[in-house]
């Protein structure tokens, strides 16, 4: 899983876009539907990740050597 929300959003948005393109190119309606379902799943995941809290690291962390 990427560490930053921006990485998550970029990944899921790109996967969604790619699946929608594949759905448009597919000749078989069943394949179109499958690609569309994957695109919708990526879109849902992207929206869910937007509300995931990002861990905050302490500013004055002591590093032990």
Domain ranges for the chain, please list them.
5-49
Q: What pLDDT, in 10s, does the model give residues 9-36? A: 899 999 999 999 999 999 999 999 999 9
Which is more confident, 65 or 24? 24
In angstroms, rounded to a whole number, what is the distance separating the alpha carbons of residues 9 and 65?
36
CA angle 38, 41, 46 (to 5 degrees): 125
What's the whole-model pTM score? 0.70
Contact 8, 46 (CB under 8 A): yes
In angstroms, rounded to a whole number, what is the distance separating the alpha carbons of residues 9 and 43?
9
DSSP state of 58: -
| Other CB atoms within 10 Å distance of the CB of residue 4 | 9
């Amino acid at each position: 899983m990427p560490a930053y929300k921006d990485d998550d959003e970029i990944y899921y948005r790109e996967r969604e876009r790619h699946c929608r393109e594949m759905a448009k190119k597919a000749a078989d309606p069943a394949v179109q539907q499958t690609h569309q379902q994957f695109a919708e799943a990526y879109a849902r995941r992207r929206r869910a990740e937007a509300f995931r809290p990002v861990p905050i690291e302490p500013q004055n962390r002591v590093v032990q050597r």
